[in-house]
């Protein structure tokens, strides 16, 4: 592996760890230090329900009920992009299953997109499978 490939691999792993840290600490304990550390000051938000900017995301999360929880699932990263399949619960009637997409520049998140849908219990799906599983723990 070349030095450039090693650097890229290291940056990709660091980006994945950053996303995991700021999502879990911000949503699960409303600890915003990781947001301040990993989001660019000019962060762009493409979600239809979250205001743009780092301050907008912080306020959005701060205003959520204390019962809100985020559970990470599969994390995929390539180049400057990190995508994470996760579950948000405690703020809506049904948990939301999401794919969050983050773009990094120079070690900071500069943009975010998401795709959200209500979670349907496995017993109510045509295939009978869970919509969300956590490969790290092997559970639904």
8 A C-beta contact, residue 90 and residue 67: yes
Give the model confidence (pLDDT) of 63-98 as tens digits.
Answer: 999 999 999 999 999 999 999 999 999 999 999 999
In the predicted model, is pLDDT for residue 118 greater than 60? yes
- Distance from chain centroid for Cα 127: 26
Predicted model pTM = 0.89
Instruction: Name the burial class of residue 11, with classes exposed (0-12), middle (13-18) and buried (19+) by CB atoms within 10 angstroms of its CB.
Output: middle
Find the mean pLDDT for residues 113-131: 94
* 76's tokens: 């995929």
Quickly list DSSP for 99-129. EEEEEEETTEEEEEEEEEEE---GGGSSS--
């Amino acid at each position: 592996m070349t030095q450039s490939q090693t650097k890229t691999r290291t940056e990709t792993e660091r980006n994945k760890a950053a996303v995991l840290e700021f999502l879990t600490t911000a949503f699960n304990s409303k600890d915003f230090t990781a947001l301040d550390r990993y989001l660019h000051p000019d962060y762009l938000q493409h979600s239809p329900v979250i205001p743009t900017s780092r301050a907008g995301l912080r306020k959005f999360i701060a205003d959520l009920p204390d019962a809100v929880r985020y559970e990470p699932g599969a994390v995929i990263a390539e180049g400057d992009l990190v995508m994470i399949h996760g579950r948000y619960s405690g703020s809506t009637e049904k948990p939301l299953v999401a794919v969050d997409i983050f773009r990094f520049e120079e070690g900071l998140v500069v943009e975010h997109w998401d795709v959200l849908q209500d979670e349907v219990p496995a017993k109510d799906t045509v295939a009978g499978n869970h919509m969300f599983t956590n490969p790290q723990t092997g559970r639904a």
